[in-house]
């Protein structure tokens, strides 16, 4: 595994700490503490103004780097929203879901501002959040490094048939245009092939061989990198990708 990608796995793990009913400041403190416990001198600090329970923004003002870490599935007795989002992914309905579109649109606004200010932005996430980051990467043409990204039981129609054609401005933010499943495209100029190559360059997907959740995501246009599961660990856990 690329050593430089460790910080994205750490950010993905730390982002889970933002889930809960505790006061927001308490959750931010424990999220930063977890990140620092793996990477104490990284220079990354949480941007509190842009962070919420589903997304943590880490910013390094010295290196001018930003990590937008989406949070994976967390469930409590009174909060099953992540399970519903997982179902959207499983049934390949996430690309037109309000939750996922909201995440993509919020990323678009912040990515635009960060890039204007001279920062390099990387999206990341594990499982549910891996799928979110991949979707946002495609829509916002931004680098993503994801881990065991959630996949659909039906594959990804947008990728499989080459239907992600372009980005356009919708309501002031970038949104992905996805043609209906089964729609055939005559690609005389090879534009779809060029787009697929660009996505493979923009997205890295790390996965463990025995993980069932990411099975179909391994077939998506991305740089697919297999990692051996750590002995004794669940094949899906983010801990398989942290080596510090």
The per-residue pLDDT for range 39-53, each reduced to its tens digit, is 999 999 999 999 998
Stretch 89-112: mean pLDDT, rounded? 76
- Of the ranges 25-29, 77-81, 217-221, which one carries the lowest mean pLDDT score? 77-81
Beta strands in the chain (DSSP E): 45-46, 55-60, 65-70, 120-126, 143-147, 164-170, 173-178, 203-208, 223-227
pLDDT at 133: 94
Mean of pLDDT over the chain: 79
- pTM for the model stands at 0.80
Nearest CA-CA partner of 183 in 165, 196, 204, 198: 165
Contact 127, 105 (CB under 8 A): no
Report the run of H or E that residue 44 belongs to, with start and end.
none
Residue 215 pLDDT exceeds 70: yes
pLDDT at 180: 38
Q: For residue 2, count CB atoms less than 10 angstroms from its CB and return exposed for 0-12, middle for 13-18, buried for 19 or more.
A: exposed
Residue 91 pLDDT exceeds 70: no
Residue 81: pLDDT band with limits 50, 70, 90: low
Nearest CA-CA partner of 211 in 162, 168, 147: 147
User: Between residues 179 and 24, which one has the greater pLDDT?
Assistant: 24
Stretch 18-43: mean pLDDT, rounded? 94
Stretch 144-172: mean pLDDT, rounded? 53
Among 55-69, 125-139, 199-213, top mean pLDDT goes to: 55-69
């Amino acid at each position: 595994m690329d050593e430089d990608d460790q910080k994205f796995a750490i950010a993905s793990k730390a982002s889970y700490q933002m889930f809960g009913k505790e006061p927001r400041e308490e959750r931010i403190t424990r999220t930063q503490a977890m990140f620092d416990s793996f990477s104490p001198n990284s220079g990354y600090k949480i941007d509190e103004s842009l962070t919420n329970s589903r997304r943590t923004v880490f910013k390094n003002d010295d290196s001018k780097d930003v990590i937008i870490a989406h949070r994976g599935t967390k469930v409590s007795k009174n909060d099953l929203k992540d399970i519903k989002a997982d179902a959207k992914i499983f049934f390949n309905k996430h690309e037109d879901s309000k939750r996922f579109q909201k995440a993509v649109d919020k990323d678009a606004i912040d990515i635009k501002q960060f890039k204007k200010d001279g920062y390099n932005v990387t999206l990341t996430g594990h499982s549910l959040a891996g799928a979110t980051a991949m979707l946002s990467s495609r829509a916002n043409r931004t680098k993503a490094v994801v881990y065991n990204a959630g996949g659909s039981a039906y594959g990804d129609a947008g990728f499989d048939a080459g239907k992600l054609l372009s980005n356009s401005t919708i309501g002031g933010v970038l949104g992905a245009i996805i043609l209906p499943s089964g729609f055939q495209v005559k690609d005389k100029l090879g534009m779809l092939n060029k787009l697929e190559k660009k996505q493979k360059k923009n997205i890295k997907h790390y996965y463990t061989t025995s993980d069932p959740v990411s099975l179909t995501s391994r077939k998506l246009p991305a740089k697919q990198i297999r990692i051996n599961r750590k002995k004794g660990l669940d094949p899906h856990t983010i801990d398989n990708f942290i080596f510090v």
